[in-house]
Amino acid sequence: MAHVQNYYWGDLDAQGLQILNQFRSYYPSGIALMMDWATFHTYRHLVKEGIPALLQTLPQ
């Protein structure tokens, strides 16, 4: 997968951002889709209390 463009689209919560961080450690040129401040602000009316992230790294 080193010669293809990789994309990640996940939830805008602690866990989704944690997974994005891990994804970027494997694929530094990877692109996050709809995981930016503009998207967050567009849908901020849907924000709810979340669950804190407990897992520090994802299993391989």
Question: Tell me, what's the pLDDT at 51?
Answer: 82
Half-sphere exposure (Cβ direction) of 18: Cα atoms closer than 13 Å: 12
- Is the C-alpha dihedral spanning 27, 30, 34, 37 positive or negative? positive
Which residues touch 27 (CB under 8 Å, ≥6 apart)? 1, 6
1-60 confidence digits (pLDDT tens) = 558 899 999 999 888 888 898 899 999 999 999 999 999 999 999 998 888 777 666 555
Question: Tell me, what's the pLDDT at 56?
Answer: 64
How many angstroms separate the CA atoms of 27 and 40, rounded? 23
The ranges assigned to domains in the chain are 7-46
Beta bridge partners of 33: none
Question: Are the CB atoms for 53 and 18 separated by under 8 Å?
Answer: yes
Question: Tell me, what's the pLDDT at 40?
Answer: 93
pTM over 0.85: no
